[in-house]
Chain A
Protein backbone atom coordinates (compact mmCIF):
# COMPACT_ATOMS: atom_id res chain seq x y z
CA UNK A 1 0.00 0.00 0.00
CA UNK A 2 1.24 3.47 -0.86
CA UNK A 3 4.94 3.72 -0.21
CA UNK A 4 5.30 0.73 2.10
CA UNK A 5 8.60 -0.53 0.81
CA UNK A 6 10.53 -3.28 2.48
CA UNK A 7 13.66 -1.91 4.12
CA UNK A 8 12.76 1.66 3.15
CA UNK A 9 15.10 4.09 4.90
CA UNK A 10 15.45 7.02 2.52
CA UNK A 11 14.43 9.46 5.22
CA UNK A 12 16.63 7.95 7.89
CA UNK A 13 19.42 10.40 7.23
CA UNK A 14 17.11 13.41 7.42
CA UNK A 15 15.18 12.37 10.51
CA UNK A 16 17.02 9.68 12.44
CA UNK A 17 14.32 7.48 13.90
CA UNK A 18 14.45 5.87 17.30
CA UNK A 19 15.20 2.18 17.08
CA UNK A 20 12.12 0.07 17.64
CA UNK A 21 11.03 -3.48 17.05
CA UNK A 22 9.15 -4.05 13.81
CA UNK A 23 5.62 -5.24 14.54
CA UNK A 24 3.47 -6.92 11.90
CA UNK A 25 -0.10 -5.66 12.06
CA UNK A 26 -1.83 -7.80 9.47
CA UNK A 27 0.27 -7.24 6.35
CA UNK A 28 1.52 -3.81 7.48
CA UNK A 29 4.83 -3.45 9.27
CA UNK A 30 4.94 -0.84 12.03
CA UNK A 31 8.30 0.25 13.39
CA UNK A 32 11.67 -1.39 12.84
CA UNK A 33 12.54 1.27 10.28
CA UNK A 34 9.32 1.00 8.26
CA UNK A 35 7.72 4.23 7.00
CA UNK A 36 5.45 5.84 9.60
CA UNK A 37 2.07 4.21 9.23
CA UNK A 38 -1.09 6.31 9.06
CA UNK A 39 -4.07 5.08 11.01
CA UNK A 40 -7.52 6.31 11.92
CA UNK A 41 -10.56 5.24 13.87
CA UNK A 42 -14.18 4.95 12.87
CA UNK A 43 -16.85 6.77 14.85
CA UNK A 44 -19.70 4.53 13.77
CA UNK A 45 -21.53 2.00 15.91
CA UNK A 46 -19.46 -1.11 15.21
CA UNK A 47 -22.55 -3.28 15.61
CA UNK A 48 -23.96 -1.44 12.57
CA UNK A 49 -22.22 -3.53 9.94
CA UNK A 50 -23.10 -1.53 6.86
CA UNK A 51 -22.25 1.90 8.28
CA UNK A 52 -18.96 0.74 9.77
CA UNK A 53 -18.04 -0.99 6.54
CA UNK A 54 -18.75 2.15 4.52
CA UNK A 55 -16.68 4.42 6.75
CA UNK A 56 -13.82 1.92 6.92
CA UNK A 57 -13.64 1.75 3.14
CA UNK A 58 -13.67 5.55 2.95
CA UNK A 59 -10.90 5.91 5.52
CA UNK A 60 -8.77 3.27 3.83
CA UNK A 61 -9.21 4.88 0.45
CA UNK A 62 -8.30 8.27 1.91
CA UNK A 63 -4.95 6.80 2.95
CA UNK A 64 -5.52 5.19 6.33
CA UNK A 65 -3.28 2.13 6.22
CA UNK A 66 -4.76 0.69 9.41
CA UNK A 67 -8.27 1.29 10.75
CA UNK A 68 -9.48 0.92 14.34
CA UNK A 69 -12.99 0.02 15.45
CA UNK A 70 -14.32 0.24 18.95
CA UNK A 71 -15.39 -3.16 20.21
CA UNK A 72 -17.44 -2.14 23.19
CA UNK A 73 -20.41 -4.51 23.44
CA UNK A 74 -21.26 -8.12 22.48
CA UNK A 75 -23.13 -6.93 19.37
CA UNK A 76 -20.00 -5.12 18.18
CA UNK A 77 -17.78 -8.16 18.80
CA UNK A 78 -20.29 -10.32 16.92
CA UNK A 79 -20.27 -7.91 13.95
CA UNK A 80 -16.48 -7.77 13.56
CA UNK A 81 -15.94 -10.94 11.49
CA UNK A 82 -18.75 -10.05 9.11
CA UNK A 83 -17.51 -6.48 8.52
CA UNK A 84 -14.02 -7.84 7.93
CA UNK A 85 -15.37 -10.36 5.41
CA UNK A 86 -17.29 -7.69 3.49
CA UNK A 87 -14.23 -5.44 3.51
CA UNK A 88 -12.15 -8.14 1.89
CA UNK A 89 -14.94 -8.79 -0.61
CA UNK A 90 -14.82 -5.09 -1.49
CA UNK A 91 -11.07 -5.40 -2.11
CA UNK A 92 -9.95 -3.60 1.04
CA UNK A 93 -7.29 -5.39 3.08
CA UNK A 94 -6.50 -2.67 5.61
CA UNK A 95 -5.59 -4.30 8.93
CA UNK A 96 -8.22 -3.77 11.63
CA UNK A 97 -7.56 -2.97 15.25
CA UNK A 98 -10.13 -3.69 17.94
CA UNK A 99 -10.30 -0.96 20.57
CA UNK A 100 -11.11 -2.48 23.96
CA UNK A 101 -12.02 -0.82 27.23
CA UNK A 102 -13.35 -2.34 30.46
CA UNK A 103 -14.60 -5.63 28.99
CA UNK A 104 -12.04 -6.63 26.36
CA UNK A 105 -11.10 -9.79 28.26
CA UNK A 106 -14.77 -10.88 28.24
CA UNK A 107 -15.53 -10.00 24.63
CA UNK A 108 -12.37 -11.58 23.23
CA UNK A 109 -13.02 -14.75 25.23
CA UNK A 110 -16.68 -15.04 24.29
CA UNK A 111 -16.21 -14.10 20.63
CA UNK A 112 -13.23 -16.09 19.38
CA UNK A 113 -14.11 -15.29 15.77
CA UNK A 114 -13.77 -11.61 16.60
CA UNK A 115 -10.38 -12.28 18.18
CA UNK A 116 -9.36 -14.11 15.03
CA UNK A 117 -10.66 -11.49 12.58
CA UNK A 118 -8.91 -8.54 14.23
CA UNK A 119 -5.28 -7.81 13.36
CA UNK A 120 -4.35 -6.14 16.64
CA UNK A 121 -5.96 -5.52 20.02
CA UNK A 122 -5.71 -2.13 21.68
CA UNK A 123 -5.71 -2.37 25.46
CA UNK A 124 -6.10 0.68 27.66
CA UNK A 125 -4.24 -0.28 30.85
CA UNK A 126 -6.14 2.47 32.68
CA UNK A 127 -9.49 0.76 32.41
CA UNK A 128 -8.81 -2.94 31.97
CA UNK A 129 -9.85 -3.54 35.57
CA UNK A 130 -9.17 -2.37 39.10
CA UNK A 131 -6.94 -3.73 41.86
CA UNK A 132 -5.88 -7.36 41.47
CA UNK A 133 -8.21 -7.90 38.55
CA UNK A 134 -6.31 -5.43 36.43
CA UNK A 135 -3.32 -7.69 35.90
CA UNK A 136 -5.46 -10.77 35.55
CA UNK A 137 -7.74 -9.25 32.90
CA UNK A 138 -4.83 -7.62 31.10
CA UNK A 139 -3.09 -11.01 30.95
CA UNK A 140 -6.23 -12.67 29.63
CA UNK A 141 -6.22 -10.33 26.62
CA UNK A 142 -2.49 -10.84 26.08
CA UNK A 143 -2.87 -14.62 26.17
CA UNK A 144 -5.65 -14.48 23.58
CA UNK A 145 -3.28 -12.39 21.46
CA UNK A 146 -0.56 -15.03 21.91
CA UNK A 147 -2.94 -17.84 20.94
CA UNK A 148 -4.07 -15.98 17.82
CA UNK A 149 -0.63 -14.68 16.90
CA UNK A 150 -1.79 -11.07 17.12
CA UNK A 151 0.04 -7.99 18.38
CA UNK A 152 -1.37 -5.65 21.01
CA UNK A 153 -1.09 -1.95 21.57
CA UNK A 154 -0.78 -0.75 25.10
CA UNK A 155 -2.48 2.58 24.63
CA UNK A 156 -2.14 4.81 27.66
CA UNK A 157 -4.38 7.86 27.70
CA UNK A 158 -4.03 10.81 30.05
CA UNK A 159 -7.80 10.94 30.31
CA UNK A 160 -8.18 7.39 31.58
CA UNK A 161 -5.06 6.72 33.60
CA UNK A 162 -4.88 4.04 36.24
CA UNK A 163 -6.15 6.12 39.16
CA UNK A 164 -4.52 3.96 41.83
CA UNK A 165 -1.16 4.62 40.24
CA UNK A 166 -1.82 8.36 40.04
CA UNK A 167 -2.90 8.53 43.68
CA UNK A 168 0.18 6.60 44.79
CA UNK A 169 2.52 8.89 42.86
CA UNK A 170 0.74 12.02 44.12
CA UNK A 171 1.14 10.74 47.67
CA UNK A 172 4.79 9.93 47.08
CA UNK A 173 5.32 13.45 45.75
CA UNK A 174 3.88 14.88 48.98
CA UNK A 175 5.59 12.43 51.33
CA UNK A 176 9.03 12.77 49.80
CA UNK A 177 8.58 16.45 49.10
CA UNK A 178 9.55 16.00 45.45
CA UNK A 179 7.93 19.26 44.40
CA UNK A 180 6.53 17.97 41.10
CA UNK A 181 3.57 19.63 39.44
CA UNK A 182 0.51 17.44 39.04
CA UNK A 183 0.80 17.58 35.26
CA UNK A 184 4.33 16.25 35.52
CA UNK A 185 3.20 13.43 37.80
CA UNK A 186 0.47 12.49 35.34
CA UNK A 187 2.99 12.35 32.53
CA UNK A 188 5.29 10.21 34.66
CA UNK A 189 2.37 7.91 35.40
CA UNK A 190 1.55 7.56 31.73
CA UNK A 191 5.04 6.31 31.01
CA UNK A 192 5.11 4.14 34.09
CA UNK A 193 1.78 2.58 33.20
CA UNK A 194 3.01 1.84 29.68
CA UNK A 195 6.23 0.25 30.95
CA UNK A 196 4.60 -1.81 33.68
CA UNK A 197 1.99 -3.04 31.21
CA UNK A 198 4.70 -3.93 28.73
CA UNK A 199 6.41 -6.07 31.38
CA UNK A 200 3.14 -7.80 32.07
CA UNK A 201 2.50 -8.36 28.37
CA UNK A 202 5.93 -9.97 28.05
CA UNK A 203 5.27 -12.14 31.09
CA UNK A 204 1.99 -13.18 29.49
CA UNK A 205 3.91 -14.61 26.56
CA UNK A 206 3.88 -11.84 23.96
CA UNK A 207 7.15 -11.17 22.19
CA UNK A 208 8.76 -7.72 21.90
CA UNK A 209 7.75 -7.65 18.24
CA UNK A 210 4.11 -8.07 19.20
CA UNK A 211 3.86 -5.03 21.45
CA UNK A 212 3.26 -1.43 20.47
CA UNK A 213 3.03 1.25 23.14
CA UNK A 214 1.63 4.75 23.00
CA UNK A 215 0.87 7.65 25.33
CA UNK A 216 -1.69 10.26 24.49
CA UNK A 217 -2.40 13.53 26.18
CA UNK A 218 -4.71 16.39 25.30
CA UNK A 219 -2.37 18.85 27.02
CA UNK A 220 0.56 19.19 24.65
CA UNK A 221 1.81 22.38 26.29
CA UNK A 222 5.54 22.50 26.29
CA UNK A 223 5.56 19.20 24.45
CA UNK A 224 9.30 19.26 24.16
CA UNK A 225 9.67 18.89 27.89
CA UNK A 226 6.71 16.72 28.62
CA UNK A 227 5.71 13.81 26.50
CA UNK A 228 8.93 13.60 24.51
CA UNK A 229 10.91 13.80 27.70
CA UNK A 230 8.80 11.02 29.05
CA UNK A 231 9.60 8.98 25.98
CA UNK A 232 13.27 9.72 26.41
CA UNK A 233 13.23 8.63 30.02
CA UNK A 234 11.31 5.59 29.01
CA UNK A 235 13.96 4.76 26.48
CA UNK A 236 16.73 4.83 28.99
CA UNK A 237 14.63 2.88 31.43
CA UNK A 238 13.81 0.07 29.10
CA UNK A 239 16.20 0.19 26.19
CA UNK A 240 15.97 -1.50 23.83
CA UNK A 241 12.32 -0.72 24.25
CA UNK A 242 9.44 -2.08 22.34
CA UNK A 243 7.81 -0.26 19.51
CA UNK A 244 6.44 3.18 20.19
CA UNK A 245 3.60 5.00 18.59
CA UNK A 246 1.81 8.16 19.34
CA UNK A 247 -1.61 9.59 18.99
CA UNK A 248 -2.60 13.14 18.44
CA UNK A 249 -4.76 15.28 20.57
CA UNK A 250 -8.42 15.81 20.44
CA UNK A 251 -9.40 19.02 18.79
CA UNK A 252 -11.57 20.17 15.95
CA UNK A 253 -11.89 21.55 12.46
CA UNK A 254 -10.60 21.66 8.96
CA UNK A 255 -7.52 20.52 7.09
CA UNK A 256 -5.46 23.18 5.45
CA UNK A 257 -2.33 24.97 6.35
CA UNK A 258 -0.87 21.93 8.08
CA UNK A 259 2.11 22.01 5.77
CA UNK A 260 2.89 25.55 6.79
CA UNK A 261 2.33 24.91 10.44
CA UNK A 262 4.34 21.75 10.90
CA UNK A 263 7.44 23.52 9.73
CA UNK A 264 6.95 26.34 12.24
Chain B
Protein backbone atom coordinates (compact mmCIF):
# COMPACT_ATOMS: atom_id res chain seq x y z
CA UNK B 1 0.00 0.00 0.00
CA UNK B 2 2.92 2.35 0.70
CA UNK B 3 3.76 2.91 -2.96
CA UNK B 4 0.22 3.87 -3.86
CA UNK B 5 -0.24 6.24 -0.96
CA UNK B 6 3.10 7.97 -1.38
CA UNK B 7 2.51 8.30 -5.09
CA UNK B 8 -1.03 9.57 -4.68
CA UNK B 9 0.02 12.06 -2.02
CA UNK B 10 2.91 13.54 -3.97
CA UNK B 11 1.52 13.26 -7.48
CA UNK B 12 -1.90 14.45 -6.36
CA UNK B 13 -0.39 17.76 -5.31
CA UNK B 14 1.38 18.19 -8.63
CA UNK B 15 -1.66 17.22 -10.66
CA UNK B 16 -3.83 19.58 -8.70
CA UNK B 17 -1.41 22.36 -9.54
CA UNK B 18 -1.84 21.56 -13.21
CA UNK B 19 1.62 20.06 -13.57
CA UNK B 20 2.12 17.01 -15.71
CA UNK B 21 0.95 15.69 -19.05
CA UNK B 22 1.72 12.02 -18.66
CA UNK B 23 1.89 9.80 -15.62
CA UNK B 24 3.50 6.61 -14.53
CA UNK B 25 3.24 5.27 -11.01
CA UNK B 26 6.34 3.27 -10.10
CA UNK B 27 5.36 0.44 -7.83
CA UNK B 28 7.58 -2.35 -6.60
CA UNK B 29 5.59 -5.48 -7.34
CA UNK B 30 5.39 -8.41 -5.01
CA UNK B 31 7.38 -11.37 -6.34
CA UNK B 32 5.25 -12.76 -9.14
CA UNK B 33 2.90 -9.79 -8.71
CA UNK B 34 0.72 -8.29 -11.40
CA UNK B 35 2.49 -5.50 -13.28
CA UNK B 36 -0.86 -4.02 -14.29
CA UNK B 37 -1.26 -2.68 -10.74
CA UNK B 38 0.78 0.38 -11.73
CA UNK B 39 -1.59 1.08 -14.60
CA UNK B 40 -4.66 0.69 -12.39
CA UNK B 41 -3.10 3.02 -9.82
CA UNK B 42 -2.42 5.75 -12.40
CA UNK B 43 -5.94 5.47 -13.81
CA UNK B 44 -7.51 5.54 -10.34
CA UNK B 45 -5.51 8.62 -9.38
CA UNK B 46 -6.51 10.55 -12.50
CA UNK B 47 -10.12 9.49 -12.08
CA UNK B 48 -10.14 10.39 -8.38
CA UNK B 49 -9.05 13.92 -9.28
CA UNK B 50 -11.65 14.15 -12.01
CA UNK B 51 -8.99 14.54 -14.68
CA UNK B 52 -9.98 11.53 -16.75
CA UNK B 53 -12.47 8.69 -16.75
CA UNK B 54 -11.39 5.16 -17.53
CA UNK B 55 -13.96 2.85 -16.07
CA UNK B 56 -17.21 3.06 -14.13
CA UNK B 57 -16.49 3.76 -10.49
CA UNK B 58 -18.01 1.89 -7.59
CA UNK B 59 -18.71 3.68 -4.34
CA UNK B 60 -18.90 1.32 -1.41
CA UNK B 61 -18.89 1.99 2.29
CA UNK B 62 -16.09 0.85 4.57
CA UNK B 63 -18.45 -1.06 6.81
CA UNK B 64 -18.86 -0.66 10.55
CA UNK B 65 -20.66 -2.25 13.47
CA UNK B 66 -23.95 -1.70 11.67
CA UNK B 67 -22.89 -3.88 8.77
CA UNK B 68 -21.87 -7.19 10.28
CA UNK B 69 -22.87 -9.06 7.12
CA UNK B 70 -20.14 -9.31 4.48
CA UNK B 71 -22.64 -9.40 1.62
CA UNK B 72 -22.15 -5.78 0.60
CA UNK B 73 -18.37 -6.23 0.61
CA UNK B 74 -18.64 -9.30 -1.57
CA UNK B 75 -21.11 -7.65 -3.89
CA UNK B 76 -18.94 -4.52 -4.20
CA UNK B 77 -15.92 -6.63 -5.01
CA UNK B 78 -17.81 -8.81 -7.46
CA UNK B 79 -19.17 -5.84 -9.36
CA UNK B 80 -15.75 -4.16 -9.40
CA UNK B 81 -14.27 -7.33 -10.90
CA UNK B 82 -17.12 -7.54 -13.40
CA UNK B 83 -16.45 -3.96 -14.52
CA UNK B 84 -12.72 -4.56 -14.88
CA UNK B 85 -13.30 -7.72 -16.91
CA UNK B 86 -15.98 -6.16 -19.10
CA UNK B 87 -14.43 -2.76 -19.71
CA UNK B 88 -12.12 -3.81 -22.57
CA UNK B 89 -15.27 -4.81 -24.48
CA UNK B 90 -17.60 -2.08 -23.22
CA UNK B 91 -15.22 0.68 -24.18
CA UNK B 92 -15.30 -0.45 -27.78
CA UNK B 93 -19.10 -0.67 -27.75
CA UNK B 94 -20.58 2.10 -25.63
CA UNK B 95 -19.87 5.81 -25.79
CA UNK B 96 -19.29 7.30 -22.33
CA UNK B 97 -19.68 4.10 -20.29
CA UNK B 98 -16.51 5.01 -18.36
CA UNK B 99 -18.46 7.83 -16.70
CA UNK B 100 -20.99 5.51 -15.08
CA UNK B 101 -21.13 5.49 -11.31
CA UNK B 102 -22.31 2.64 -9.10
CA UNK B 103 -22.90 2.39 -5.38
CA UNK B 104 -22.96 -0.74 -3.25
CA UNK B 105 -23.79 0.27 0.29
CA UNK B 106 -24.09 -1.62 3.54
CA UNK B 107 -26.89 -0.06 5.60
CA UNK B 108 -29.66 2.50 5.89
CA UNK B 109 -27.42 5.35 7.14
CA UNK B 110 -25.73 6.37 3.89
CA UNK B 111 -27.06 3.58 1.68
CA UNK B 112 -30.09 5.23 0.07
CA UNK B 113 -28.33 8.62 -0.22
CA UNK B 114 -25.22 7.28 -1.95
CA UNK B 115 -27.35 4.97 -4.08
CA UNK B 116 -29.49 7.85 -5.29
CA UNK B 117 -26.38 9.87 -6.15
CA UNK B 118 -25.05 7.07 -8.38
CA UNK B 119 -26.33 6.00 -11.78
CA UNK B 120 -27.18 2.65 -10.21
CA UNK B 121 -27.01 2.10 -6.48
CA UNK B 122 -28.03 -0.71 -4.21
CA UNK B 123 -28.51 -0.28 -0.49
CA UNK B 124 -28.07 -3.52 1.38
CA UNK B 125 -29.52 -4.05 4.83
CA UNK B 126 -27.35 -3.55 7.90
CA UNK B 127 -27.62 -5.61 11.05
CA UNK B 128 -31.19 -5.91 12.23
CA UNK B 129 -32.66 -4.19 9.16
CA UNK B 130 -35.30 -5.86 7.00
CA UNK B 131 -33.60 -8.09 4.39
CA UNK B 132 -34.52 -5.88 1.45
CA UNK B 133 -32.22 -4.12 -0.97
CA UNK B 134 -33.69 -1.08 -2.71
CA UNK B 135 -32.06 -0.26 -6.02
CA UNK B 136 -31.98 3.30 -7.32
CA UNK B 137 -31.42 4.21 -10.93
CA UNK B 138 -30.49 7.80 -11.75
CA UNK B 139 -31.88 8.87 -8.40
CA UNK B 140 -35.19 7.08 -8.68
CA UNK B 141 -36.19 3.96 -6.77
CA UNK B 142 -36.30 1.17 -9.33
CA UNK B 143 -36.79 -2.22 -7.70
CA UNK B 144 -36.25 -3.85 -4.35
CA UNK B 145 -34.16 -7.00 -4.51
CA UNK B 146 -34.27 -9.83 -2.00
CA UNK B 147 -32.56 -13.17 -1.80
CA UNK B 148 -29.26 -14.91 -1.30
CA UNK B 149 -25.96 -13.29 -2.19
CA UNK B 150 -25.79 -15.20 -5.47
CA UNK B 151 -29.28 -14.11 -6.44
CA UNK B 152 -28.49 -10.50 -5.58
CA UNK B 153 -25.25 -10.58 -7.55
CA UNK B 154 -26.95 -11.96 -10.65
CA UNK B 155 -29.85 -9.53 -10.43
CA UNK B 156 -27.64 -6.48 -9.81
CA UNK B 157 -25.31 -7.38 -12.65
CA UNK B 158 -28.29 -7.74 -14.97
CA UNK B 159 -29.47 -4.26 -13.93
CA UNK B 160 -26.02 -2.88 -14.75
CA UNK B 161 -25.95 -4.56 -18.17
CA UNK B 162 -29.42 -3.34 -18.89
CA UNK B 163 -28.61 0.23 -17.87
CA UNK B 164 -25.51 0.34 -20.04
CA UNK B 165 -27.33 -0.95 -23.07
CA UNK B 166 -30.09 1.60 -22.54
CA UNK B 167 -28.10 4.65 -21.53
CA UNK B 168 -24.89 4.67 -23.57
CA UNK B 169 -25.03 5.04 -27.33
CA UNK B 170 -23.51 2.26 -29.36
CA UNK B 171 -20.23 3.15 -30.98
CA UNK B 172 -20.15 2.64 -34.68
CA UNK B 173 -17.54 0.23 -36.00
CA UNK B 174 -15.52 3.15 -37.40
CA UNK B 175 -15.45 4.97 -34.08
CA UNK B 176 -14.45 1.81 -32.23
CA UNK B 177 -11.61 1.17 -34.66
CA UNK B 178 -10.33 4.73 -34.44
CA UNK B 179 -9.83 4.45 -30.68
- Given A58-B35, A245-B21, verify A36-B51 contact (CB < 8 Å): yes
Q: Which residue of A lies closest to B59 (CB)?
A: A259
B21–A38 CB distance below 8 A: no
Alpha-carbon gap, A66 to B22, bound state (A): 9
Chain B residues touching A, range? 35 or more
Alpha-carbon gap, A263 to B51, bound state (A): 12
B65 at the binding interface (Cβ < 8 Å): no
- Given A2-B54, A249-B6, A255-B4, verify A62-B17 contact (CB < 8 Å): no
Of the residues A3, A43, A231, A261, contact of B14 by C-beta under 8 Å: A231
Q: Which residues of A contact B88 (CB under 8 A)?
A: 61
A30 at the binding interface (Cβ < 8 Å): yes
Chain A residues touching B, range? 35 or more
Q: Which residues of B contact A36 (CB under 8 A)?
A: 15, 20-23, 46, 51-52
A252–B28 CB distance below 8 A: yes
Most interface-central of B11, B20, B40, B98 (chain A CB within 10 A): B20
Alpha-carbon gap, A18 to B20, bound state (A): 8
- Looking at the assembled complex, report how far the CB atom of A157 sits from the nearest CB atom of chain B, in whole angstroms: 10
A39 at the binding interface (Cβ < 8 Å): yes
Q: Which residues of A contact B22 (CB under 8 A)?
A: 30-31, 36-39, 66, 212, 245-246
Mark the stretch among A9-17, A110-118, A125-133, A137-145 that contacts chain B. Answer: A9-17
Residues 1-49 of B at the A interface (beta carbon under 8 Å) = 1-30, 35-49
B18–A250 CB distance below 8 A: no
Q: Which residues of A contact B179 (CB under 8 A)?
A: 1-2, 4
Name 15 interchain pairs, CB-CB below 8 A, sorted by A: A3-B98, A15-B15, A18-B19, A35-B51, A39-B22, A61-B88, A64-B39, A220-B10, A244-B21, A248-B7, A248-B42, A250-B28, A251-B7, A255-B4, A258-B41
Interface residues of B (CB under 8 A from A): 1-30, 35-55, 57, 88, 91, 98, 179
Q: 14 more A-B contacts (CB under 8 A) besides A1-B179, A250-B28?
A: A11-B50, A20-B21, A36-B22, A39-B24, A62-B39, A212-B21, A220-B6, A223-B9, A223-B10, A228-B13, A231-B14, A248-B11, A261-B9, A262-B8
Interface residues of A (CB under 8 A from B): 1-4, 11, 14-18, 20, 30-32, 34-43, 55, 58-59, 61-64, 66, 68, 212, 216, 220, 223-224, 227-228, 231, 243-264
